[in-house]
Structure 1
Amino acid sequence: MVFTVLKERVWKKLQGWKEKLLSRAGKEVLLKAIVQYIRTYMMSLFGIPSGLLDEINALCARFWWGVRGKDRKMHWISWEKMYRAKSHGGLGFRDLKVFNQAFLTKQGWRLLCNQDSLVHQVMSAKYYVRSSFLEAGRGLDPSFIWRSIWGEKALLLEGLKWRMGDGTQISVEDAWLLGDSAVVVPTPNLECSANL
């Protein structure tokens, strides 16, 4: 599998550090700075299988709580609770599944907003010639990149709303809100004014 390189890199980074030499703060910095940022490029283009992300999280949890040879120490708190912000009793680690979703949703936002970009031109020529990214279907035999970005379109649609403006571009079926606080869905005459 192509994505096993992610797990192997995490494993190599963790094996390079001796557990006894690092304090809890040192382990936290190592996990946040090195392990959780390995290959964010891959996460921004591909939907990484959730089973693999669970395995990477398990490696991080084993490193955090400690492992000596084949003996594993007790995990006193679930790794999911450690995702919480420090102000809410967690340690602020990133949930890799949510991180992957956020990256892919941002790519969808870029396809929606940056219509002059080369990526938009290539994707629109192949997958949505006569429509916009929001109306695009999955297509027949799509690339893994397109399937990954298209799969997070529903998450993007949850946060998009029309800003009224003069009302000429709004359809009755579209979701819309009054006021300046609404997130803007780009139209041909309207630039993207909100960033993810």
Structure 2
Amino acid sequence: MASSFLNCRVSCIPFIYLGLPVNANPRRTSTWEPLLESLRKRLGVWGNKYVSLGGRIVLLNFILNAIPIFYLSYMKILVQVWKSIRQIQRDFLWGGTKRGKTISWIKWDVVCLPKSRGGLGVRDVRVINISLLAKWRWRLLTNDNVVWKEVIRSKYGDLAVGKVVLGDECKPWFASLWWKDICSLGMNLSHNWFA
């Protein structure tokens, strides 16, 4: 009755809102599959007939790395998903979209180095993910009165806002996965954060 009154459809959880799955578990690869499929579809449209190596680097940096930004700004990337995205990027860089095995002429770590240090300047997706999630921590430290901070404060307590280090006292058992990821950012920004 409510859906007919509001002229909207009835759906179930999880659902997509503004491109992100709502109430989906970011620890499952199935949550990330639409993103991976979107990357693969985009490559299928481009083809490889007339795209040079320089053109593929530009497409990697400005198109392929831009597609997952919305996901990466809210969810911690899984290692399997990061490896899949890296494989998609690597295959496109060295062979375009043609099928079959391609030769990687340079290690991916070198490809991701800045051009000033001898790399190709391709941005690493997991570094982008850390920086986008760190922006939430930075916003918690600023002194503005926005609604989402009030929600965080009412759910996790006054200690959750305005602190540089968010310890276990800010991470109750009922905390969301997003909040746990935000809290764990400051503790270990090393490689094991992605394990």
Tell me, yes or no, whether TM beats 0.5: yes
- Number of residues of Structure 1 aligned to a counterpart in Structure 2: 155
5+ residue gaps, structure 2? 1-29, 190-195
Residues 1:151 and 2:181 aligned together:
no
Partner of 2:170 in structure 1?
A: 137
Amino acid at match of 1:139: P
Indicate if the aligned counterparts of 1:45 and 1:148 stay in contact, CA closer than 8 A.
Answer: no
Amino acid at match of 2:49: K
Q: Distance in 2 between matches of 1:127 and 1:106?
A: 19
Select the residue among 56, 66, 79 that pairs with 1:50. 79
Indicate if the aligned counterparts of 1:43 and 1:103 stay in contact, CA closer than 8 A.
Answer: yes
Amino acid at match of 1:153: G
Select the residue among 39, 45, 57 that pairs with 1:10. 39
Partner of 1:120 in structure 2?
A: 149
Indicate if the aligned counterparts of 1:105 and 1:155 stay in contact, CA closer than 8 A.
Answer: no
Alpha carbons of structure 1 residues 115 and 5: separation in structure 2 relative to 1, 3 Å: same
5+ residue gaps, structure 1? 157-196
**TM-score normalised over the length of structure 1:** 0.72
Task: Please tell me whether Structure 1 or Structure 2 has the larger radius of gyration of its CA atoms.
Answer: 1
Runs of 4+ in 1 over 6 A off after TM superposition: none
Amino acid at match of 1:91: L
Amino acid at match of 2:101: R
Q: Distance in 2 between matches of 1:92 and 1:78?
A: 13
Indicate if the aligned counterparts of 2:152 and 2:160 stay in contact, CA closer than 8 A.
Answer: no
Partner of 1:93 in structure 2?
A: 122
Amino acid at match of 1:142: A
Deviation at 1:68, TM superposition (A): 3.1
Residues 1:107 and 2:136 aligned together:
yes
**TM-score normalised over the length of structure 2:** 0.73
Alpha carbons of structure 1 residues 126 and 87: separation in structure 2 relative to 1, 3 Å: same
Q: Distance in 2 between matches of 1:114 and 1:50?
A: 34
C-alpha RMSD of matched pairs (Å): 1.9
Deviation at 1:131, TM superposition (A): 5.6
Residues 1:68 and 2:98 aligned together:
yes
Amino acid at match of 1:57: R
